[in-house]
Chain A
Amino acid sequence: MFDPALFKLPGMRKLAVWLSILAVIEGLCIIAQAYYLSVAIVGLWHLHALNTIVRPMLLFALAWVGRQLLVVVKNRLMYPIVEKTSGDMRRQVMQKLYQLGPSYVAKTGTGNVVTTALEGIDKVQTYLMFVVIKVIDMMVIPWVILIYIAFLRWREALFLLAIFPLIIVFMIILGYAAQAKADRQYVGYQRMSNHFVDTLRGLPTLKQLGLSKRYAENVYQVSEGYRKQTMAVIKIAMLSTFALDFFTTLSIAVVAVFLGFGLVDGTIGLLPALVILVLSPDYFLPLRTFANDYHATLNGKNAFADVQKMLALPVPTERLQLGEQPLNWRADSDLQLTNVNFSYDGNQLALKDLNITAHGYQRIGIIGASGSGKSTLINLLGGFLSPAVDDGTIAVNGQTVSHLSQQAWQQSYFYIPQNPYLFHATLAENIAFYQPEAGLSAIGQAAEKAGLTAWIQTLPDGLNTKIGEGSRGVSGGQAQRIALARAFLDDSRKILLFDEPTAHLDIETEAELKQTILPVLDDHLVFFATHRLHWINQMDYVLVMDHGQIVEQGTPAELAAHNGAYVRLRDEMVGAI
C-alpha cells in the first residue's frame, strides 16, 4: 500500500509521526463530538429543557470544529513536502534530461518526455497529497474509535473488529477478479480506444478511397462495441465498491438492531447506545474515503515509478577528459577511432569495428543505403551515443577518451541535421543561439553570408521576427540557412557534423543551398553523411557504410578506381533512373 520510495523523501518520516499523532487527536475529537451530541439528544429525549443541554451542544460544536480544523492542519503540514518534492522532481527531470541528451528523447519520444515532466508530475503530486494522509488515517482513526466502543460495550466492538478484515478480504478478491477480467479484455479495449483517433487521422485516405461517408456508421458501431465491453468490465469492477458499501452499511444496520435489543433487555443505556451508533459510520469512514479515491490515484503511483525510473538511468560520466575549455582544432589536430563498437541494447552491434582517422581540415563524406549506420555514426561522433566501455579506443590529439560526450569536444563542433530545430524565439536569437552575447550587426552579417537577407527583408520585424513552432512558418531550406548562419557567426568551432542536410529539399532549393554550404566547409573538419551523390565530389575522403561497418574508405578517386562497394552503391543509386 505504501511505496517504500515514499519514505525516502526528505522529511517524510518525521511528518508521518506528526500525522499519526494528529490522527489520534482527530479520533478523540470524533469521539467527543459523538459523545456530546448524544448527551444533548438524550437530554431532549428525557424532555429536559433546552438550557440544560447548552453545555454539551457547545462541547459538540467545539469537537466538530476541532476535527475539521485538524483536516486542514494535516493538509497544510503535508503540502510543503509535496510541493517541494514535485518541484524538485521537475528540476531533477530537467537536469537528467540535459545529461541524457537527444538520443534519450529520440528513443522515448518528445511527447512522452514532456508528458512525464508536466502531467506525470502533476499526478505524482495528487498521489502524494492523497496517499500519505489517507493511509495514516485509515491505520489510526478506526482503532481509536474501536477502543472507545470496546469500553462501552465489547460485543459491538468485537463485531466491528471482525467485519473490518472481512471487508478488506472481499475487496481484494473482487479487485483481483475485476483485474483479471479487465486484463483479458485489455487488448480489445486498447484497440477500441485507439480506433477513433486512428480513424480521424486516416480521414484524408478514407476520403481518397471514397469510404469516408460510410465510415460514420462504422465509428458508431465500434463505439457501441466498446461500450458493451466497458460495461462488462465496469460491472465487475464496481462490485468491490458494492462490497465495501454493502458491508459497511449493513454493519451499521446490524449494530443498530443489536443495540435495539440491548436496550429492550435493559443491558445498555440510551446514551452509550447512541454514542456507538453515531460512531459506527465514522469507524468505516477512513476506509471508504481511501477506497473511493484509490483507483484514481493509481495513475499517480505509476507516474511516480516512471519518474523514479527515469532519474535512475545511467548518464555518461568522465565528461571532462579533454578539459573544460573548447578544443582548439587546428590543421594538425587529429581524431582517431580504433576498433570501436557500438550497440543500442547491449546485444546486437549497430556499429562494428570502426577505424577512422580524421586529420586537420579534412572533409569526410559518409555514404551508404538507409539503415547502414550513417546517422548512428554521426551521433557517436557527436557524443550523443557512447560506445561500450573498453570496446576499442577513441583518441583526440593522442589523448584517449572513453566517449565523445566530452564537454570540450561538444563545444567545438556544429551539428546540422536534416531538420535543424528552430527555437520559439526571434530569428536573431535563433541565429545567436550558440553565441547569446553576439551583437545585432554580427548576426546580420552571418545571416547575409547564409543567404537569408532577401527573406529577412520580407519579414515584418526583420531579424526580430518570432519564428519557430506556432509562430512564422519557416521552410526547410531557410531552416538550413539559419543553422548555417550559426556556424558563420561562430568561427571558433572548427568541426562540422552534417547528417543528410539536404535530403528532403527539392532539387532547386538544394542546388541553391549548396552554393551557401560550400564556403563553410573550408578550414573545417567536416563529417558529411549523405545519400545525395553530388556532395561526394566536394569531399576529399569517403567512408562507405553497410550494415554498421565501414566496408570501404579512401579518396573518391581511389574508390572510383576499383570496382568495390562505392562503385556498386553509386550504380544502384543512379542505375534505376
Chain B
Amino acid sequence: MKDFFGTFKHDTWVMPYLRKYKKLLALTLFLGLMTFFCGSALMFNSGYLISKAARHPYNILMIYVPIVLTRAFGIGRPAFRYAERITSHNWVLRIVSDFRKKLYQAVEKHAVAIRQNFQTGDVLSILADDIDHIENLYLRTVFPTVIALLMYLIIILALGYFSWWFGLLMLLMLGLVVIVMPLWSVLINGARETQSRQIQQTFYTQLTDAVMGLGDWLISGRQKDFTDRQDQPIDAIAKLRRRDHQFQWWRDFTIQIIFGVICLALLVWSSFYWTSDKASANWIAAFVLSVFPLVDAFQSVSQGVSEWPSYQRSIKRVNDLDTTPTDETDQTVLTEDFNVLRVADLDFQYTDTSRQIFKQLNLTLQAGEKLALLGPSGTGKSTLLKLILGDLQPTNGTVQLNDVPVSRLQNERAQLFGVLDQQPYLFNTSIMNNVRMGNEEATDDQVKAALKAVELEPLITALPDGYETVVEEGGARFSGGERQRIALARILLQDAPIIILDEPTVSLDPITEAHLLQTVFRVLNDKTILWVTHHLAGINNVDQVRFLEDGQFDMAGTPQDLYATAPRFKRLYDLDQGQED
C-alpha cells in the first residue's frame, strides 16, 4: 500500500490527466455504471414481472410498467456499453496524445546524447511501450475497478435502506470480492511478477545471445550445448506459467463460490423480509435474479488489479524522466558573421571517471579552413566534437565562436553548425520532406537544386515516385552512400558556416567513400570544415591534419608536410593506399 502511494507521490504522468479531463472521465464512469445497472435492473425487473404476472392480474395494465421497463433496460444495457467503450477509448487516446508530447519533450532535452543516454532505439521503443501500458492501466484496471466500487456502494446503500443488517452482511461479502480478492491477487502477483521478469529477462538475454552467435554455435559443432542451454529457462517459464494459471483458476472459483453464497443469503433474507404478504413476495425473484449480471462486473476487478505491478513499473519509468524546463536566460546570438572557432587551454574529464580526456588542448579554426582530426578510437574525438557543439561543458578553458562562448549560442546552433555523422537519420516520409527539414522555407526548386548538387538527381528522377518517394524507416529504401548524400543535401539547404563531419564514411566501401568525399568537399567548398575520420582516404582535401593522442595533438600540419616529415603519417598513408608490404 505504501508502495502504491509512493508511486504517485511525485507523479506528473497519471494524476494530472485525471484532473485535466475530469468531465469526460466522469461521463465514462457514469456510462460504465449505467451499463451494469441496466444489466442488473433487467433481471430484477424481469423477475418482478413474471412473479407479478403469476398472480394472474385481471388487467394487463397491472404489469404494463414492468413490461416497458424490461424493454428499456434491454436496450439500455448495450447502448450504454457501446457509449462507454467509445468515450473511454476516446479519453485514453486523448491522454496518449498528451503523453507523447510530454515524453518527446523530456527526451528532447537530451537529444544529442540520446544515443549514449538511451543507448539504442530499443530503449525508445520501451518508453513508447510504457505509454501503451498506461493506456491499458486505465482501460483494464482503473475504469473497471472504479465502476465496480461505485456499484458496490450503491448496492450496499440500497440494501441497507431495506434492512441495515443485511446491508452490513453484503458489505462484508461483496467486500471480499471487490477489495480482499483484488488485494490478495496483487500481492501474490506482485511477487510473481518480479520473479517472472527475472526469468523472462534471462531467457531473453540468453536467446538473443544464442541467436546472434548462431554462426559460432553452428561451426563449433556444439549443438547439444546449444539446446541444453535453452532448456533451463524454458522449464522455468513453464513452471511459472503453471502456477500463475492455477492461481487464477482457483481465485475465479472462489469468487464464484462467494456469489453462490450471496445468492443463498438473499434467499434467506427474503424469507424474513419479503414474505409478509403476496404483493411483497413478488420482489423475491427480482432481488435474487439481479445478482447474476453483477458477477461479470466484480470478477474482472481482481484480474485488472493484479496487473498493477507491471503498470507501476511503467509509471515509475516515465516519472523518472527529467521534465523540468531548461534555463535559457544567458543565451545570446552571434551579431556578426562567423570568423573564428577557438578552443583555448581546454581541460575535460567526465564527472564519473578519473581519466582526464583533454589536457590544455588548443585549436584555432579560421573561417573557410578545413581540418581533419584523426586518432585511435577512444581518444576523445567525439568528445571534442560535443564540446565544440556545446553539448558538454569544459572542465577548464573555453570554446568560443568569435568571442562568444559556444554554450551561450545554443538556441542559434542550427544556424551555425551543420552536422553530418555516421548515420544521419532519415525520417519515414518523402525525400522532398526529408531534405526540406534543412530549411523549411526552401522552395521545391531549391530542394531539387540541392539534390542535384549532391548528384542524386538521376537516381531520384528514375524512381517511379520521383522526389515524393518515401524513404521508409531509417531510410531503408536507399544504400548507405545514398543516405549520406540525402543528408548532405539537407545540410546544403541549412547553409550553416561551420560543418562538422563525424566519420561520415565509416560504413561505406572505399569506392563509395571516395566518391562521397569528392562531392562533400566540392559542395562545401566555401565552408569551415571539421572532419573526424578513421583513416586517411581523402585526406588531401583538407588544409590541416591533427592527430589526437593522450589528450593532446601529437601531429599537426598539412597532409603534404606530414607525409614528408612524419614517418608514422607516411606509413599509415601508404598502408591506406595499399602500397605497404
The interface of chain A, by Cβ under 8 A from chain B, is 37, 40-41, 44-47, 49-50, 53, 57, 60-61, 64-65, 68-69, 71-72, 75-76, 79, 83, 86-87, 90-91, 94-95, 97-98, 101-102, 105, 110, 113-114, 117-118, 125, 129, 191, 194-213, 215-217, 219-220, 223-224, 226-227, 230-231, 234-235, 238-239, 241-242, 245-246, 249-250, 252-254, 256-257, 259-264, 266, 269-270, 273-274, 277-278, 281, 369-370, 382, 384, 407, 410-411, 413-415, 417, 421, 423-424, 433-434, 436, 468-470, 475-477, 503-511, 531-534, 536-537, 570, 572-577
Contacts and interface: CB of A to CB of B under 8 A. Distances in A.
Given A260-B50, A260-B67, A511-B572, A277 B289 contact: yes
A69 B252 CA distance: 10
B288 interface: yes
Contact of A118 (B56, B79, B125, B204): B204
24 contacts: A45-B54, A45-B284, A60-B264, A72-B250, A97-B211, A118-B200, A118-B204, A196-B100, A198-B473, A200-B121, A223-B100, A231-B90, A246-B75, A256-B42, A257-B70, A407-B221, A411-B221, A421-B215, A469-B205, A475-B378, A506-B375, A506-B535, A507-B536, A573-B514
Given A91-B231, A209-B414, A227-B97, A203 B86 contact: no
Contacts of B534: 504-507
Contacts of B330: none
B56 A227 contact: no
Contact of B114 (A72, A203, A242, A382): A203
B14 interface: no
A15 B334 CA distance: 79
Q: Which of A234, A278, A508, A534 has the most CB of B within 10 A?
A: A508
B284 A273 contact: no
Contact of A469 (B57, B74, B208): B208
B111 A206 contact: yes
Contact of B211 (A110, A274, A476, A533): A110
B154 interface: no
Contacts, number: 426
Interface in B199-243: 200, 203-223, 225-227, 230-231, 234-235, 238, 241-242
Contact of A98 (B214, B245, B277, B281): B214
Contacts of B377: 475-477, 505-506, 509
Contacts of B1: none
B63 A260 contact: yes
Contacts of A410: 218-219, 221
B151 interface: no
Interface string B49-90: 111111011001001001100110111011101100110011
Given A424-B205, A508-B376, A511-B572, A201 B474 contact: yes
B67 to A, nearest CB: 5
A102 B238 contact: no
A194 B267 contact: no
Contacts of B222: 436
Interface string B131-152: 0000000000000000000000
Contact of A231 (B93, B230, B514): B93
Interface stretch (B102-110, B394-402, B443-451): B102-110
B211 A200 contact: no
Interface stretch (B305-313, B359-367, B418-426): B418-426
B515 A49 contact: no
A310 B567 CA distance: 57
Contacts of A98: 214, 217-218, 223, 226-227
A263 B104 contact: no
Given A64-B263, A98-B214, A573-B511, 4 more contacts: A75-B249, A249-B38, A249-B74, A576-B538
Nearest to B231: A91
A530 to B, nearest CB: 10
Q: Which of A65, A97, A202, A574 has the most CB of B within 10 A?
A: A202
B212 A110 contact: yes
Contacts of B57: 264
Nearest to B574: A534
A415 B214 CA distance: 12
Contacts of B22: none
B271 A536 contact: no
Interface stretch (B159-167, B175-183, B343-351, B502-510): B502-510
B319 interface: no
Contact of B274 (A44, A250, A506): A44
B289 A278 contact: yes
A507 B257 contact: no
A503 B250 CA distance: 60
A455 to B, nearest CB: 11
B413 interface: yes
Contact of B42 (A44, A239, A252, A369): A252
A65 B73 CA distance: 30
Contact of B514 (A219, A238, A411, A575): A575
Contact of B575 (A231, A503, A511, A572): A511
Nearest to A86: B238
B438 interface: yes
Contacts of A245: 77-78, 81-82
Which 5 residue pairs are nearest across A and B when measured between Cβ atoms?
A210-B414, A533-B578, A253-B74, A576-B514, A245-B78
Contacts of A49: 271
Given A118-B200, A424-B209, A274 B285 contact: yes
Q: Which of B271, B473, B538 has the most CB of A within 10 A?
A: B271
B425 A531 contact: no
B275 interface: yes
Contacts of B551: none
A433 B87 CA distance: 58
B537 A75 contact: no
B53 A259 contact: yes
A421 B210 CA distance: 10
B466 interface: no
A436 B256 CA distance: 56
A381 to B, nearest CB: 12
B50 A259 contact: yes
Contacts of B206: 424
A197 B85 contact: no
A241 B81 CA distance: 9
B129 to A, nearest CB: 10
B215 A384 contact: yes
Interface string B250-288: 101100110010011001101110110110011011001
A533 B577 contact: yes
A158 B79 CA distance: 26
A210 B441 CA distance: 13
Given A219-B101, A434-B220, A470-B205, A113 B211 contact: yes
Contacts of B230: 90-91, 94
A114 B211 contact: yes
Contacts of A213: 108
Contacts of B77: 245, 249
B94 interface: yes
Contacts of B204: 114, 118
A265 to B, nearest CB: 9
Contacts of A223: 96-97, 100-101
A504 B284 contact: no
A249 B215 contact: no
B272 to A, nearest CB: 8
Given A50-B268, A209-B437, A227-B94, A101 B214 contact: yes
A226 B96 CA distance: 10
A421 B425 contact: no
A252 B39 CA distance: 10
B525 interface: no
Contacts of A194: 428, 473
Q: Which of B208, B218, B518 has the most CB of A within 10 A?
A: B218
A417 B75 CA distance: 68
A512 to B, nearest CB: 9
